[in-house]
Amino acid sequence: MELTKNITLGIYLPGETSIHRLDPRTKIIATTLLIILLLFIRSYEAYGVFFIFTAAIIYFAGIPPRFALCGLKPMLPVLILMWVFQLFLYSTPDAEVLFSWFIFTATDTGLHMGNMITLRVLFLFTVTTMLTLTTSIVSLTDGLESLLNPLRKIGLPSQELVMTMVIALRFVLILAEELDKIVKAQMARGVAFDRGNFIQKTRKIFPVFLPLFINAFKRAEELIVAMEARSYSGGKGRTKMKTLHMGRVDLAAGGIMILYAALMVFILFSVSPRI
């Protein structure tokens, strides 16, 4: 089970706060709105307001702050690299040179751009993490299915797509366990996965993934037969046991979101960006 314990697909923190109880559709729409707003932010003032709002949500959802940030750790090198690239590579003709070294020149606009983009990625990550922390994967898929439903009219097989997601989620763990078994079986027969150079190591991957894929296809075939036996014939004519309800909380949340979005738009237009 060594491989399986490292797989956390959308860590969900169960809770009873009003943010947990929101309809998944409300949360998905709100998150999308926040992401769109983020793409337009170009000043520290706007980020300040965004930070306060995000922090408020984290507080009301009862999420320990370290949880909201824990996922950021593996991304840190990428974030730093991005910041450095912007610092040295971005500049405008009227930019002031901060310092220069060898062929690299850092300008104040580069610094500003670096900060803006790094903050954007940071907040993008936090906002989406907030969604997965407060919404179980099942209600997420339910919400997604309901939101995508109108697109059926233009030919998007929304229910089938969501069904695929549901099945994928169920089989992630099963396949991870299977991978673990195959790796151990190969090790028992003397394969040393940690030895050799890059090419040698890469070649050892094939005898692991080949059986994994073959097994996965076999499973898929059996699953199809089992689904057919239970009268599955695509999304048409299917109903759902759980129906989603938008309540007063959702109405309030929607109101707050609209007010907040209006405030953000006002700030975006009134504070002139420096670049």
Partner 1 sequence: MNPLIEAVDLSYTYRAGSGKEVQALNGINLQVNRGEILAITGQNGSGKSTLARHFNGLLTPKAGKVLVEGLSVAEKENIPEIRKIVGMVFQNPDNQLISSIVEEDIAFGPENLGLTPAVIRDRVEYALETLGLQDLRSESPNQLSEGQKQLVAIAGVIAMKPRCIVLDEPTAHLDPRGRRGVLDSILHLNREEGITTVLLTHFMNEAVHCNRMIVMDQGVIKMEGSPGEVFRRREQIISLGLDLPVAAQLARGLRSRGIEVPEDIIQTEEIIDCLCRLK
Residue 208: Cβ-neighbour burial (10 angstroms; 0-12, 13-18, 19+): middle
Counted residue by residue, the chain has a size of 275
Token pair of 150 as six digits: 């109108």
**Residues facing 101 on adjacent strands:** 104
Token pair of 122 as six digits: 């940071």
For partner 1, which is the closer residue by CB, 21 or 240?
240
Q: Is 242 in the site for partner 1 (CB under 8 A)?
A: yes
Q: Is 259 in the site for partner 1 (CB under 8 A)?
A: no
One of 237, 245, 248, 269 touching partner 1 (CB under 8 A): 237
Site for partner 1 in 127-156 (CB under 8 A): 137-138
* Residues 6+ away with beta carbon under 8 Å from 229: none
CB of 149 to partner 1, least distance (A): 15
Q: Is 231 in the site for partner 1 (CB under 8 A)?
A: yes
For partner 1, which is the closer residue by CB, 197 or 239?
239
Q: Is 77 in the site for partner 1 (CB under 8 A)?
A: no
**120 neighbors 38 (Cβ within 8 angstroms):** yes
Site for partner 1 in 169-198 (CB under 8 A): 169-170, 173-174
Q: Is 160 in the site for partner 1 (CB under 8 A)?
A: no
CB of 275 to partner 1, least distance (A): 46
Q: How many whole angstroms separate alpha carbon 268 and alpha carbon 43?
A: 8
Beta strand pairing status for 104-107 and 97-101?
A: antiparallel
One of 243, 245, 269, 272 touching partner 1 (CB under 8 A): 243
Q: Is 230 in the site for partner 1 (CB under 8 A)?
A: yes
How many CA atoms, within 13 angstroms, populate the side-chain half-sphere of residue 52?
8
Binding site for partner 1 (CB under 8 A): 137-138, 163, 166-167, 169-170, 173-174, 219, 222-223, 225-233, 237-243
